Chains A and B, each alone.
Chain A
Amino acid sequence: GAVVSQHPSWVICKSGTSVKIECRSLDFQATTMFWYRQFPKQSLMLMATSNEGSKATYEQGVEKDKFLINHASLTLSTLTVTSAHPEDSSFYICSAKGMTGGRSPLHFGNGTRLTVT
Chain B
Amino acid sequence: AQKITQTQPGMFVQEKEAVTLDCTYDTSDPSYGLFWYKQPSSGEMIFLIYQGSYDQQNATEGRYSLNFQKARKSANLVISASQLGDSAMYFCAMRESSGNNRLAFGKGNQVVVIP
- Chain A interfacial positions (CB closer than 8 Å to B): 32, 34, 42-46, 49, 57, 91, 93, 95, 97, 102-103, 105-111, 113
Contact = CB atoms under 8 A, between A and B. Distances in A.
Contact of B45 (A32, A45, A95, A102): A95
B57 interface: no
Nearest to B31: A102
B46 to A, nearest CB: 8
B30 to A, nearest CB: 13
Contact of B50 (A43, A45, A57, A103): A103
B43 A93 contact: yes
A113 to B, nearest CB: 7
Contact of A43 (B47, B91, B101): B91
Contacts of A91: 43
Contacts of A109: 44
Nearest to B55: A103
B102 interface: yes
